Structure 1
Amino acid sequence: MIRQFLLAFCLLAAALTPSLAEERIERFVSDVTVEGNGDLLVTESIQVWAEGRQIRRGILRDFPTTYHRADGSRVEVGFDVQSVMRDDLYEQFTTERMTNGVRVRIGSAGVSLNTGSHTYVIKYRTTRQIGFFKSYDELYWNATGTGWTFPIDVAEARITLPEAVPIQQSAIYTGPQGAAGKDAIIVEQKPGLIVFRTTKRLPVANGLTVAAGWQKGVVAEPTTMQRIEAILHDEPALKFAAVGGGLVIGFYLIVWLLFGRDPRRGTIIPLFGPPEGMSAAGVRFVHEMGMDDRVFSAGIVGLGVNRCLKLFDRSNGQSIQRLDGGHPADAAEKALEKSLFAKGATVPLSNSKHEVISSARSSLHRSLKDSYGDLFSNNTWAAVAGLAGSILVTVLIIAAYGESYPNDGAVIFGGVLIPLLPIMFGCSMIRSGRRLAGNRGLLQVVIGLLTLLAGVTVGIGIFGTNLGFGYAMAPAIVPYVLAAFGALGFGWLKAPSTEGRKILDQIDGFRQYLSVAEEDRLEFLNPPKKTPELFERFLPYAIALNVENSWANRFTGVLAAAGVGAAVSSWYVSNQSFTPDNVNSFADRVSDNLATTIAAAATPPGSSSSTGSFGGSSSSSDFGGGSSGGGDSGGGGGGGGGSGW
């Protein structure tokens, strides 16, 4: 009876054993041959036990090809499968692109594996896996990967060098990703060869990582050109940034050389009057080669001096009133006067009359272009073309970023696009501030600089905290530079014609006279006598050329003796006393109110885990690194994992 019971028990156990057997990797051997050019020829021998659960038709081998350096930048290594065999026969396989690597699907959907042991041999070539250091070179190799869904009974890694040179240092790590277990030993070491083997079974998601270092010169380091090519390969956005950015900036420079360079200046001597027949607004328009708010301010003050209007500057606001009998200085002033008073004799300089002010500004601009537009060229077509090119390059950079960092779309859009507006605004503020006099111009330049720096800081911060401060950030800088070029291009692409240069020389000579502080320098030229009438006549031009303070300071004594208010009382009324000290604030108030009104109307592999594998100096390679001193399981090149299907 007992004998029959034992026999039945043994038969039952034998029947149950296959169904309870565990699918696993019985033996994993990574045989790495290091070639003289730095490539690795790898033969992986993976012996699995299949039970028809996960492993039904074959296995999946996942190999990472995209890594990230400590600074966040990408490294993309080469991976080329040369052959796959199962049980000494060539096996069908396909490769599938994954987010950060390649999946090798081994087997056929129409073929089921028998239960039992099967050995897969995968041969592949991979590149850019060697770390190049100051005093040694190294392979930091994740032999098995930590992504397997099966335990591994025994794992072995073999590293063969191109030459039979001594292995100077080595390291071993086992365990899950990031662990530093030591459940492996060196079973063989001789010049040009080192073999590692585990001493314990590796559970699911555990792996074997090894490192070996040798003397320099055995493996050829990449040349400078190869490193540049590798960087461009790692960061495709760099290609668009370098080529596209270079083309746009080159376009700007060529246009400037061909069309934007000013003719040579003539000899500038002080002149005691503006170019003949030119109003203060016209002088400003030609001097700046374009329209701005101070052109408008100079036009209004010019109309006042020419008895065409009276300006009221009171605590409750500013307004202008038409006067009869005045004589505008030129066609532009006449057009301004006509437009200002088209709907009434009194116009408050406030937002309530923004349509009138905007219309008057447009009329002045059109008339100035008709009168003086042939004296210079804005080359607006070039600025617009450069801006369009900048937009195209920015779109291509963002698209390339999206391919490289598919999970960081918000970071890419934010890091590239958010800073562009403050950068362009800041550059525009700097450009316009440089054309203003005194503290107001300085303040505008400072605000522009701060805005520009804020935009750049925000962009760098977004990228740095998410993608690191390495090569990944570099392409984003190019749209910043192009935005600055675009904002500034509308200014520095302007150029006077030959005739315009002559007029500018006259304006510069007149400006010298208006701004000179040492009057003794002018005496030998017989300047006109200083009188209140002379002060008043040229005040609009001083405002137009940003030298109103210098002009007023020269008349302090004359105006004090004659009564300063008498010089402007016919066209300027204020409840504040008008003195030479507040001429500048007077012009600023006119300009500021007009500006406000007009604005309203416009209503990697081998990467070092610490200081290098063996305590060596930092890597000199753009993609190599070290392992052992601070390395871990799952570090280095190779790696990945797999499962069955």
Structure 2
Amino acid sequence: MARWRDAQRWCGWLVLLWWSALAPASAVDHEFYPGVSVASDASLYQRGMGERILLFDSQAHFQLDGSMLVDETIQVQSNGEQMKRGIFRTFPLVWHRQDGSTFRLQYQIKQVLRDGVPEHYSLEQAHEELKVLIGSADRLLPPGIYRYRLHYQVSNHFSRFPDWDELYWNVTGNGWRYPIDKVRFRLYLPEQDAFLTPDGKDSRLRSVDVYTGSLGEKGHHARILAAGNIETTAPLGIGEGVTVAYTWPRSILASAPAPQEDSLLGHVLSPTLKRGVLWFPPFLIVAYYLLWWRKHIAASRLTKPAVVPLYSVPDGISPGYVRYLCQRTYDNVAFSSDVLDLIAKRAIELTKIKHKPRKTRSGMTPGREEQWLTRLSDHGSEKLTSEDKQLLSTLFPGKTKKLDITETSMRSVPMQKARKAQEAHYEKTHPTLFLSIAGAVKVGVALSLLVPVLYGLFFNLWTAVSSVICMPFLLFSTMLCLQLLKYARYSALLKNSEKSKALLFLAVAGFLFTLPFGLALFRLLTSSQLPDDYQGALSVSLLLCLGFFCIVPRHTQKGLNGLAVAKGMILYLRAAEERRYETLYPPDKLVEHFERMLPYALALGVGETWANTFAQYLKHHQMVSGVFSSTQWDGLSQFNSACSSSSRTVSNTGSGRGGGGSSSGSGSSGRGSSGGGSGGGGGGGW
């Protein structure tokens, strides 16, 4: 009997010791969060429930300077599996907004508590993420329920739109390794006590939205309470989170600075090691262009000759040649000026025949004017160069003496052949006059395409494919921009460019349409998670190609010398109204001088100024030209049109929501999703 009593006494002591060992670990304040049902430890272990987050409560207080104080309480159940020493919380340092904008967030940890007592923590930062490691490496925690509290400040995390501000905030983050039973969130705006409704809601709030689920989902397993706070209606699984979107008038944070987008320069100077590979193509482009410049520009020692007014035509320079130097192409005006030069040299004669209106059975036919070219005798051929003689023989083959170039007549075969022959002749001189930069630009564009290729290999294939899809729009808009720059460059040199205003308008409209369309399509296909390193590397690569195209010289040294001659002639011809010619040439030589310079004035885009000055001089001195029947610009313009029309080939068809701004980055009104917005991150145990 005594032995039986001793056995009972020992069993009682063992049970008492077992319960006393479990009692400290199972202590939990059930009244700290009313409404949260937490079972006892024994029942939890009996059910075999794993580690989890029992409650995630977050309260955010906006400050007048735009920063936000966040108080997170995370109540966890630890079984000693992963939560051996404590938990860790991660915060993303970069926020990629839906509209493609990128913002860098600043966090400041104020306080960390465990069960109301300050807890040791350490910070780690890597891969654009801040990690708060809570607990001590040399101390293990017994299984139980713990309440962690993080108090931190975050800034540069909200959005500012024309009429409102917005907090698009990932409350929990989608990176937790545990399910979450309950989530609560409440936002406090500055001085909100004076604007509370009877339900406790801030009346200044414009809208409140909530999204639950995995990354990108728009789940609605949460409710918005009367006071404007949020709570979930169902547990969240691993990888699921809660994202909220609050909007309010801009006047509330009127003194707060607008959030600043992340600057490209910061990433250029200190890119992350992994994304640094994206900047390899821009550096390759820079290296290639420097080598190209050294080989073709520096080695040639190109120098621009001084431009001085030229009062006469240098030997061996034709009107078509000077225009070809300026335009880098042989166009209709160049051909007309070469033909006009034959008239000025008295090798051919321009005759105009006017026909009066006639009465026919079908009515009156309007009057018309014919323009004919007539080949003259060879007495003036000593003034002709070999190129002039070749052009003359092409215009008048065999025994042909007359050629109809009337604009309304059929196309002239001799004029077409002459136009093609002249163009072929000048194109042969292209390598000696101009530098070929097309190949270098193509190499730069090809190297730019390495950016999406590398991104597809190391990061995200779909983003790379989307870039290739959108690249034609971006390249097309870039090429239009290059053509506009080319037009502006030569229209400054040649006042009356052959390109029409309609074509210029279409080019501008096309550029303004294709560039935004390409960028919008790019952002649509790649969603909001687009790294700024990728955008920056691709943009810098294309800008390097564009910059190279704009600054690289187009002419060889021979071309620069000829271009200086052309510019010198322009300086003199444009100043015709100043009557400088009267001091340079005697009166008996002035008419011949006017006639000699007229083809060059037409070629260099100052034909109207020179022709009208010529006509006024003849009228004032009661003189006539022995070459041109009409020296007015209208007559010269008609001749140019007739030459262009008669020499044109059949295939040639040408001749010379609110008005305040966008809210695409907003997460309110159903535009957001779980995992979107600033904040977020996740956590786990260690």
SS of the aligned residue for 2:52 comes to strand
1:544 corresponds in structure 2 to 603
Query: Residues 70-469 of structure 1: matches in 2 within 5 Å?
Result: 70-72=98-100, 133=156, 145=174, 175-176=212-213, 181=222, 202=235, 207-209=240-242, 227-228=267-268, 239=279, 242-247=282-287, 250=290, 254=294, 257-258=297-298, 263-266=303-306, 268-271=308-311, 273-286=312-325, 291-311=330-350, 320=373, 322-325=375-378, 327=381, 329-342=384-397, 345=400, 359-365=417-423, 367-368=425-426, 377-380=433-436, 383-400=437-454, 403=461, 405=463, 408=466, 411-438=469-496, 443=501, 449-463=508-522
Structure 1: how far apart are the matches of 2:399 and 2:682?
83
Structure 2: how far apart are the matches of 1:202 and 1:527?
103
Deviates further, 536-545 or 289-298: 289-298
Amino acid paired to 2:347: C
Q: After TM superposition, give the deviation of residue 414 of structure 1 in Å.
A: 4.7
Q: After TM superposition, give the deviation of residue 392 of structure 1 in Å.
A: 1.0
Structure 2: how far apart are the matches of 1:519 and 1:482?
44
| 1:568 aligned onto 2:628 | yes
Structure 2: how far apart are the matches of 1:590 and 1:299?
14
How many pairs were matched up?
Answer: 470
Q: After TM superposition, give the deviation of residue 639 of structure 1 in Å.
A: 5.9
Structure 2: how far apart are the matches of 1:174 and 1:455?
35
Q: Measured at CA, do residues 258 and 448 of structure 1 come closer, stay the same or move farther in structure 2, by a change above 3 Å?
A: farther
**Normalising by the residue count of structure 1, what TM-score does the alignment of the two structures yield?**
0.54
**1:227-284 CA-partner distances (Å, limit 9, x unpaired):** 447867797895266335534654665567426875343472542x201243333444
2:554 corresponds in structure 1 to 493
Q: Measured at CA, do residues 566 and 492 of structure 1 come closer, stay the same or move farther in structure 2, by a change above 3 Å?
A: same
Q: After TM superposition, give the deviation of residue 28 of structure 1 in Å.
A: 2.1
**1:11-32 CA-partner distances (Å, limit 9, x unpaired):** xxxxxxxxxxxx9975424999
Q: Measured at CA, do residues 228 and 364 of structure 1 come closer, stay the same or move farther in structure 2, by a change above 3 Å?
A: closer
Q: Measured at CA, do residues 396 and 175 of structure 1 come closer, stay the same or move farther in structure 2, by a change above 3 Å?
A: closer
Q: After TM superposition, give the deviation of residue 525 of structure 1 in Å.
A: 4.1
Amino acid paired to 2:98: A
**1:129-186 CA-partner distances (Å, limit 9, x unpaired):** 9965499xx9x877584999x98657999xxxxxxxxxxxxxxx895455594899xx
Amino acid paired to 2:52: F
Kept in 2: contact 1:278–1:329 (CA 8 A): no
Kept in 1: contact 2:173–2:682 (CA 8 A): yes
Structure 1: how far apart are the matches of 2:324 and 2:672?
67
Structure 2: how far apart are the matches of 1:253 and 1:361?
36
Kept in 2: contact 1:312–1:319 (CA 8 A): yes
Deviates further, 467-476 or 513-522: 467-476
Amino acid paired to 1:242: P
Which ranges of structure 1 fall in alignment gaps of 5 or more residues? 1-22, 33-41, 48-63, 78-118, 120-128, 158-172, 185-197, 212-221, 570-577, 604-609, 613-625
SS of the aligned residue for 1:438 comes to coil
Q: Measured at CA, do residues 319 and 528 of structure 1 come closer, stay the same or move farther in structure 2, by a change above 3 Å?
A: same
Which ranges of structure 2 fall in alignment gaps of 5 or more residues? 1-46, 57-73, 80-91, 106-142, 144-151, 159-166, 186-209, 226-230, 245-261, 354-367, 656-662
SS of the aligned residue for 2:313 comes to coil
Kept in 2: contact 1:285–1:291 (CA 8 A): yes
Q: After TM superposition, give the deviation of residue 332 of structure 1 in Å.
A: 1.9
Q: After TM superposition, give the deviation of residue 408 of structure 1 in Å.
A: 3.4
| 1:69 aligned onto 2:67 | no
Kept in 2: contact 1:397–1:475 (CA 8 A): yes
Kept in 1: contact 2:180–2:237 (CA 8 A): yes
Deviates further, 594-603 or 556-565: 594-603
Amino acid paired to 2:556: A
Amino acid paired to 1:600: N
SS of the aligned residue for 1:492 comes to coil
Structure 2: how far apart are the matches of 1:464 and 1:317?
60
Amino acid paired to 1:330: T
Q: Measured at CA, do residues 313 and 243 of structure 1 come closer, stay the same or move farther in structure 2, by a change above 3 Å?
A: farther
How high is the sequence identity, in percent, across the aligned residues? 20
**1:480-514 CA-partner distances (Å, limit 9, x unpaired):** 6466567667x8321333xx666655555444443
Structure 2: how far apart are the matches of 1:73 and 1:275?
59
Amino acid paired to 2:595: E
Kept in 2: contact 1:310–1:322 (CA 8 A): yes
Structure 2: how far apart are the matches of 1:223 and 1:473?
12
Structure 1: how far apart are the matches of 2:512 and 2:467?
24
Structure 1: how far apart are the matches of 2:95 and 2:599?
66
Structure 2: how far apart are the matches of 1:340 and 1:478?
52
Amino acid paired to 1:463: F
Structure 2: how far apart are the matches of 1:285 and 1:248?
30
Kept in 1: contact 2:467–2:522 (CA 8 A): no
Kept in 2: contact 1:390–1:483 (CA 8 A): yes
Structure 2: how far apart are the matches of 1:281 and 1:240?
46
1:164 corresponds in structure 2 to none
Structure 1: how far apart are the matches of 2:455 and 2:567?
50
